[in-house]
């Protein structure tokens, strides 16, 4: 018994000395409502449990969010990722996750992840990677997965059979389910499915022009609400 006890003490000592016993802790989090206008519902689709969304609602992984015509919803998914869901749209929260260095509350943040699926309608996304904590964000539709490559403002629209992504600021990558990855810079858009191997100038397409105008109108609102949320958040 004495031998086991001493061995345990030495094992713990060397483990702490090498800092090898602390594991990264990853935990799920919830999206925060920044503002809601009109009728919006959310909940677990598998349980057919949809309820009215309010400013106090917390939206978790697996929930869907559905807006009615004329309504809109602004969300903080994770720090640095803010979105507006337009009217007659629906998203599914696929993953919201924070990763810290160890289980200590004072442990530094190592990464953040936000994945959403746009089932129909439009979502405008404001992505900022300005701090030292890497964040991963993606918007997926049936046709494509979109991920910002830098600080970015972009819009994604889909009706389920077609997807259009338009970039206002920064750059966003679009990886089709079957096809190459496209880099979409500011002022350009792409549509899936498509035979085009390059993004198209937004000024050449009426729908893309609407995307640009809509995103630029939404950006100041998201920026103001994001700043207020950052001052109030607990992490």
Could you give the domains of the chain?
Answer: 23-232 (2.60.120.1440)
Tell me what pLDDT residue 233 has. 66
Q: Return the pLDDT at 9.
A: 43
Residue 85 DSSP SS3: strand
Tell me the pLDDT tens digit for each residue of 180-202: 889 999 999 999 998 778 999 99
Q: Name which residue leads in pLDDT, 205 or 135.
A: 205
- What is the CB neighbour count within 10 angstroms for residue 100? 19
What is the three-class DSSP state of 138? strand
Indicate the pTM of the whole model: 0.84
User: Taking a C-beta distance cutoff of 8 angstroms, is the pair 148, 132 a contact?
Assistant: no
pLDDT for position 174: 94
**Which of the pair, 201 or 233, is modelled with greater confidence?**
201
Query: Mind listing the pLDDT tens digit for each residue in 59-83?
Result: 999 999 999 999 999 999 999 999 9
* Whole-angstrom distance, CA of residue 161 vs CA of residue 115: 20
| pLDDT for 179 | 75
CA–CA distance, 196 with 74 (Å, rounded to integer)? 33
Q: Provide the pLDDT for residue 231.
A: 83
Average pLDDT over residues 169-173: 96
For 128-170, what is each residue's pLDDT tens digit? 986 666 788 999 999 999 999 999 999 999 999 999 999 999 9
Cα radius of gyration (the chain)? 21
Q: What is the mean pLDDT of residues 1-13?
A: 45
């Amino acid at each position: 018994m004495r031998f086991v006890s001493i061995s345990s003490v030495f094992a713990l000592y060397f483990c702490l000395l090498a800092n090898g016993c602390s594991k990264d802790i990853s935990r799920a989090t919830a999206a925060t409502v920044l503002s809601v206008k009109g009728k919006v519902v959310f909940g677990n689709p598998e349980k057919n449990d949809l309820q009215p969304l309010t400013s106090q609602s917390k939206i978790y992984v697996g929930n869907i969010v559905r807006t009615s015509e004329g309504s809109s919803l602004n969300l903080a998914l994770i720090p640095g990722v803010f979105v507006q869901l337009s009217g007659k749209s629906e998203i599914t929260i696929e993953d919201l996750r924070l990763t810290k260095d160890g289980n200590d509350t004072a442990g530094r943040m190592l990464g953040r992840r936000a994945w959403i699926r746009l089932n129909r309608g439009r979502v405008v996304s404001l992505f900022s990677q300005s701090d030292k904590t890497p964040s991963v964000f993606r918007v997926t539709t049936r046709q494509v997965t979109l991920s910002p490559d830098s600080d970015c403002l972009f819009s994604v629209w889909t009706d389920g059979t077609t997807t259009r992504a338009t970039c206002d600021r920064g750059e966003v990558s679009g990886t089709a389910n079957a096809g190459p990855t496209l880099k979409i810079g500011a002022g350009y858009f792409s549509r899936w499915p498509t035979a085009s191997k390059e993004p198209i100038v937004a000024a050449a397409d009426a729908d893309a022009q609407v995307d640009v105008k809509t995103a630029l109108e939404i950006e100041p609102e998201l920026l103001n609400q994001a700043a207020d949320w950052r001052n109030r958040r607990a992490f």
